[in-house]
Structure 1
Amino acid sequence: MKRHPWGKVPVVVFPNGFTLYESRAICSYLSKKYSFPLLPADSDVEAAARFDQAQCAEMLYFAEPAGKIAFEKFVKKFMGLPPNDALVADALRSVETFFDIAEQLLQDEDYMAGKQFTLADINYIPLIQRLFACGYEDIILSRKAVSAWWKRCLDRPAIQNMLAADKEAAAAARK
């Protein structure tokens, strides 16, 4: 509770004592501090606004229902608990609606915040991976523009390295 007032993870405590919680804030800070090209330049006001818009849309319209699906179908499985199918069905409708809209938006853009790959795109990866693990890959793959966006994200070398590391960690955990 000293590090995160809501008692959650993630939290990062830096050597100088600076403490930061919440994954989007942490990623944004690290991007700025170490000059990772994952945020629009502050001088490009329109690109920065599009990034903020894309990040808000992900948090408000995707992460919440996708997180419910991941908890009900993925986490509860490991806890030996049955999923709440009504909750899953409702959340699936919300995720489907989100990607119906994203399909239209991605007709003219390569990434969620515009032409450049940003943290807004990275934020989708964990929950989309969970949707795939739960058997809901058609939500992404059945939509031409969304599927093309997802492929562009996955084709990035850093994302491939991260996914390979995740696969190795999962394999090691099963041993």
Structure 2
Amino acid sequence: MMMMSISNEPFALAHKEEYKIYGFPYSASTWRVLAVLHEKGLSYYPITVNLRTGEQKKPSFLSINPFGQVPVLLDGHLKLTESRAISLYIENTHRSRGSKLLNHKNYKKMGIETMWMYIESFEFDPPATTLTFEQAIKPMTGLKTDYKVVNETEPQLEKVLDIYEERLKISRFLAGNRFTLADLFHLPNIEYLMNTTTKRLFENRPNVHRWVAKIMARPAWRKACDANA
């Protein structure tokens, strides 16, 4: 899907029933939101904020998000930042549409799903994002990977994946036997890391490897990746 430039874009939805998404094609956080939109079968109007040229620091974008980060979702006059918050908003707003990404009828199960979403954010994401930056983002921007950082960070990710391996012995997905936001939130970093030497950390753990293959193969995720091509 082509993404429009931020320049001269009005602060309003382009089409009545579409969300407006400010993002960047190589942004893991943007991928996360697009995956949720595709899981729910929702259309959206994408606008590129070119992070490579510093467009996120220009007044035109800072007026939308003063933190200078993507993605941003606009729904009429509602403006949301932070990919996980946006994802939760989309799921809660469209809970009866498309994939059911949270268990809205059972609060105990939702509690487990929420717990694993926090685990992704606080335990998995920090080392995974560091490894993604060093091995995927840096080379794309002409910078050299710091393998000292990689070697220091991989053991941190291994500790998390060891816990995941045990969990995935007893359930198909992290929060239970169906795919939820707890799984989806992992996908952007996993997509990058499976194209680096760090992929062995996932492949060496059979239950983690099975889980990774299953969530990466979801049609909505493949569409989200294609949209950023």
Tell whether the structures are fold-level matches, with TM greater than 0.5: yes
Please give the TM-score of this superposition, normalised by the length of structure 2. Answer: 0.67
- 1 CA distance for matches of 2:176 and 2:126? 23
The aligned runs of 1:3-152 (5 Å cut-off) are 3-14=64-75, 16-35=76-95, 36=98, 37-41=100-104, 43-152=105-214
Q: Which has the higher helix share?
A: 1
Unaligned runs of 5+ in 1: 171-175
- Given that 1:3 and 1:21 are in contact with CA atoms closer than 8 Å, whether structure 2 keeps it comes out as no
Runs of 4+ displaced beyond 4 Å: none
User: Partner letter of residue 38 of structure 1?
Assistant: L
How many aligned residue pairs are there?
165
Indicate the percent of aligned positions where both proteins have the same amino acid: 28
- Give the CA RMSD over aligned residues: 1.7
1:129 is displaced (CA, Å) by 1.0
Q: Which has the higher strand share?
A: 2
1:149 is displaced (CA, Å) by 1.3
Higher RCO, 1 vs 2 (CA within 8 Å, ≥6 residues apart) = 2
Unaligned runs of 5+ in 2: 1-61
Per-residue CA deviation, residues 122-157 of structure 1 (Å, 9 max, x unaligned), is: 111110111112232211111111112122223433
- Given that 1:103 and 1:146 are in contact with CA atoms closer than 8 Å, whether structure 2 keeps it comes out as yes
